[in-house]
Amino acid sequence: MSKKGRFSWYYFSSPQSFYPLAGTLQPWFAALAAVLCAVGLYISFFVAPTDAQQGESYRIIFIHVPAAWMSMFLYLVMGFWSGVGLVLNTRLSSMVATALAPTGALFTFIALWTGALWGKPTWGTWWVWDARLTSELILLFLYIGFMALQAAIDDQRRADKAGAVLALVGVINIPIIYFSVKWWSTLHQGASVSMTSAPTMAKTMLLGMLIMALGFWMYSIAATLARVRCVILERERHTDWVAAEIGGQT
């Protein structure tokens, strides 16, 4: 790559120079997230047609499915940054991984919550041991485990590295868990009604879902950037530049 590109990569991999960059980018991503979510919600609630079989209640998939996508995607991203942090020993990557976990857990929780809300009118119960819901539940446990491990270790360097190993083990396991659960659920209840293969997905439905997914994606970036800034401040609190930063604001 060009000399300039490499230079900026290294430049922004230091927490000190990433901090202001994150501060500049964060509002833009937040605004983008707000706009996309507003458009997505408008399409899902007012434009998309009513489903012939499930009536209006199906509309919850516009939140449920993108949240489920994001929850899995964010774990992969977390695993990626953990791996980078472990191999290259860059502090910022570990901080990003740490900052990603709560957002991922949040989306996992939303996916579970909306899944339950959808289950009540559709299946008549709040919870079904459907493959998707079950693997989301296990994913939530994985997120909680990651956060609990990092919280339990006092030494920051060790917390980063141990979390990274766990995240990588999790990344290898997620597909295995996912397919195991899928196998298990087909075995036990036959072909269940799957939420994504909702009868004949209309084009507007797909569009709404994609826009919502994009909105969630932007939100994840914005939330992660905001959290990384907090993490950076907390960990670098003894350095001169943080002192100057905080001093300048008061």
Q: How far is CA 109 from the centre of its chain?
A: 10
The DSSP symbol for 51 reads: B
Nearer to another protein, 56 or 234 (CB): 234
Nearer to another protein, 6 or 158 (CB): 158
* Smallest separation, CB 119 to another protein (Å): 21
Positions that interact with another protein (CB under 8 A): 138, 141-142, 144-145, 148-149, 152-158, 161-162, 165-166, 168-170, 172-173, 176-177, 180-181, 183-184, 187, 238
* Smallest separation, CB 101 to another protein (Å): 14
Which residues lie below 8 Å from residue 97, measured CB to CB, with a gap of 6+?
78, 81, 82, 85, 160, 163, 164, 167
**Dist. CA 149–CA 143, nearest whole Å:** 10
The DSSP symbol for 147 reads: H
Tokens standing for residue 194: 């799957």
Nearer to another protein, 67 or 139 (CB): 139
* Smallest separation, CB 128 to another protein (Å): 17
Nearer to another protein, 160 or 227 (CB): 160
The DSSP symbol for 154 reads: -
